[in-house]
Amino acid sequence: MSCVAPHLPCKGPILMSTLRKTLLHCCILVAITALCIEAGSLVFIAATQGRFHYATPPHQIAGSQQWTIQDTKLHPYFGYYSWLADFPPVPGTANATANDQEALIGIFGGSVAQGLYVTQTQTNVLRDALQALPRYAGRRVRIVNFAHSGYKQPQQLNVLNYYLANGMKLDAIILVDGVNEIGFNTVNFLHGMDSSMPMSPVFSDLVRQCTTSEAVDATACRQVEVKNQAARWQATAEQSTLASGHLLYAMLAKRARARYWLLSKQPRPQDNATGLVSYVPGDTAMDDDDALERSVQTWRFCSLAMLQAARLAGVEVFEFIQPNQYFKTDRVLTEEERAAALDQQSIMVRSIPRGYAMFFAEIDALRAAGLRIFDMTRVFDEVEETIYTDTCCHTNLQGYALMEAFIAKVMTKELAEPAAPAAN
């Protein structure tokens, strides 16, 4: 009997079929994972920023510009300036327009005020509230920005005086300040600079980078590199159509900014004797209490000086003390805020509560002098959702919208009567 080998099935087709199924399952798993990441990113953005990512054009992301490391340059009057702040043209120069049919309302302050300006361009709550006032009947209310990331007094005062001196016709100004005047002034003293000088390290780093090449040390070069990297990642985040892509690049930009500020913490004051830019040095004999008193003094004097300059030009002034997570109110921070927006090692923890308390003690005297000044620190007290987005004082869209509504309510009440006719 002959032995015949049994017919064995070909393993090739079976193997290919198994590979195709495995590949298909992997593709499905990857797709499901990507969808879950994207959905989670959408929920996170909605919860922390108060917006639906797909419905928000990149240029309308509230506050997207005000806390970036901007393309900043030295300015002869303001200390420093970035084109991202979008100040109006100086009257009498190219691109400047004069329109007697407009009522101009200027917003002054630092990055929170800048974020407020961006927000009101989307919501129009403030503009519409002011437009309904009898005093602006027959004129179109237009809100213009004079706020800039990092600005603190006397920069706002200098900006106002510069534009008024060049013929800018304003009807009212909104001044939102407080955190920079206290927190960043503390940084100034640590860097050997007086509270009256622009914020260090931004100002001192720009000065060093603009001097001769010998003065640009390795740390400054590294700062420039990190700053440019952060700007590129921030721009990519703002242009991302995917929520997950936005979060990824925003996280990378945030880490780069943290490295930038870490490099900037080393005190490196300029040499007044040999440097190209003069600065007012801080008093090394001052203790913490003296430094805070000096900061509050600068803040108080500048608020009154803005009032006096505005009065001479017939401009109404409204000052609002900005909220922040370091000055204690009745609000309870969310878990997200405690994790991402509260830095117990920050100088804000020590300086803001004490500095704010010292300034609040001055409010009655400021009001007696005619300054309309309002406490906005409790505007979030009834909000249970996440508001603060970083360890400084910046908020999501909901936070800016609440501040805008508060300001609109105050101003419509204060300006309800028609404006008095101008004196001859």
* Residue range 237-250, pLDDT digits in tens: 777 777 777 778 77
Least confident of 178-187, 265-274, 415-424: 265-274
Nearest in space to 232 (alpha carbons), one of 207, 208, 257, 210: 257
Least confident of 105-109, 260-264, 284-288: 260-264
Q: Where are the domains of the chain?
A: 19-49, 60-92+100-200+269-414
Q: In this predicted model, which residue has the larger pLDDT, 340 or 316?
A: 316
Task: Give the whole-angstrom CA distance, residue 124 versus residue 266.
Answer: 42
Task: Give the whole-angstrom CA distance, residue 237 versus residue 246.
Answer: 4
Indicate the helix (H) or strand (E) that contains 367.
helix 363-368
Cβ partners under 8 Å of residue 380, min gap 6: 323, 329, 331, 387, 395, 399, 402
Q: With 80 as the cut, is the pLDDT of residue 221 above it?
A: no
Indicate the helix (H) or strand (E) that contains 176.
strand 172-177
Q: With 70 as the cut, is the pLDDT of residue 423 above it?
A: no
pLDDT of residue 283: 73
Least confident of 112-116, 120-124, 152-156, 266-270: 266-270
Nearest in space to 259 (alpha carbons), one of 229, 216, 235: 229
Helix axes 155-165, 288-312, angle to 10 degrees: 20
Least confident of 25-39, 156-170, 352-366: 25-39
Task: Give the whole-angstrom CA distance, residue 203 versus residue 194.
Answer: 12
Q: With 80 as the cut, is the pLDDT of residue 382 above it?
A: yes
DSSP string of 228-287, one letter each residue:
HHHHHHHHHHHH-SSHHHHHHHHHHHHHHHHHHHHHHTS-----TTT-SS---B--TT--
Q: Please report, for residues 28, 165, 327, 355, 364, the alpha-carbon distance to residue 360 in angstroms, rounded to integers and kept in the order given.
A: 60, 31, 12, 9, 8
Q: Please report, for residues 29, 113, 115, the alpha-carbon distance to residue 401 in angstroms, rounded to integers and kept in the order given.
A: 40, 12, 10
Task: Give the whole-angstrom CA distance, residue 371 versus residue 307.
Answer: 7
CATH architecture of 60-92+100-200+269-414: 3-Layer(aba) Sandwich (3.40)
Q: In this predicted model, which residue has the larger pLDDT, 255 or 317?
A: 317
Task: Give the whole-angstrom CA distance, residue 151 versus residue 184.
Answer: 9
- Cα atoms in the 13 Å half-sphere on the side-chain side of 236: 16
**Percent residues over pLDDT 70 in the chain:** 81
pLDDT of residue 399: 96
Q: With 50 as the cut, is the pLDDT of residue 90 above it?
A: yes
Q: With 80 as the cut, is the pLDDT of residue 129 above it?
A: yes
Q: What is the mean pLDDT of residues 374-395?
A: 95
pLDDT of residue 51: 66
Bridge partners for 370 per DSSP: none
Q: What 3-state DSSP class applies to 310?
A: helix
Q: With 90 as the cut, is the pLDDT of residue 368 above it?
A: yes
Q: In this predicted model, which residue has the larger pLDDT, 121 or 248?
A: 121
Which class for 255: exposed (0-12), middle (13-18), buried (19 or more C-beta within 10 A)? middle
Q: With 80 as the cut, is the pLDDT of residue 38 above it?
A: no
The pLDDT confidence band at residue 224, using thresholds 50, 70 and 90, is: low
pLDDT of residue 39: 80
DSSP 388: B
Task: Give the whole-angstrom CA distance, residue 252 versus residue 265.
Answer: 20
Summarised one tens digit per residue, pLDDT across range 389-421 is 988 899 999 999 999 999 999 999 999 976 655
Q: What length does the chain have?
A: 424
Across all residues in the chain, what is the average pLDDT? 83
Cβ atoms within 10 Å of 100's Cβ, excluding its own? 7
Task: Give the whole-angstrom CA distance, residue 359 versus residue 297.
Answer: 9
